[in-house]
Chain A
């Protein structure tokens, strides 16, 4: 019986360094990282040194390098843009475009022209800071 108690105690004691390390890693991630503001994968953003930071995205449109559009989690076409982005007066009227850096600029501008027909006041292109 005495033998059992000792084993149990030593088992608990051995876990504490592990918990310490896990806590340290957790604190590191809490401090050092930013939550990704969008979920689009396989999109390589264009790089800039621009100072205008990105805090949150209200409306965003993802365009991959082939020009495929994704809005509100669904693959859409240019003609679906008005139906997908129905905005009301309380919105900040900014649309962020998350475009792949290899997308032809002409294709991007075609889409931007279509977006300008909607009620958005500002259109901003999301980029990645180099430093």
Chain B
């Protein structure tokens, strides 16, 4: 019995897996954007988190470290109806936004809104 066709098929499978596979693990983050124009609703209070091009974080006008973000949001989130608004400033890229979103989702307010 000739083994050659079997080896051919195994090699083809091997090449397929080598090209089509990846060692990276992927995940996903929900994203919801809103325009920052317009009048704010009077009853709803919000926490504003801004991130600049250097990844520097500013919460309600106060600069903080990235590691303190969750604690700061929890400290400011006095009522469950409070909204968390994230605003990437000029120069901020997707990685900066994703880092903030990820941290923010660990806080009491689960559904942050991103504005531009």
Residues of A at the B interface (CB closer than 8 Å) are: 12, 15, 18-19, 22-23, 25-26, 29-30, 32-37, 45-54, 96-97, 99-106, 108-110, 112-113, 116, 122-129
Contact = CB atoms under 8 A, between A and B. Distances in A.
Interface of B: 3, 6-7, 10-11, 13-14, 17-18, 20-35, 51, 88, 90-99, 102, 105, 114-116
A112 B33 contact: yes
A49 B116 contact: no
Contact of B26 (A30, A116, A126): A126
A126 B24 CA distance: 12
Contacts of B94: 46, 99-105, 108, 125
Contacts of A128: 24-27
10 contacts: A33-B22, A37-B26, A46-B94, A50-B105, A99-B94, A101-B98, A112-B31, A125-B29, A128-B24, A128-B26
A50 B29 contact: yes
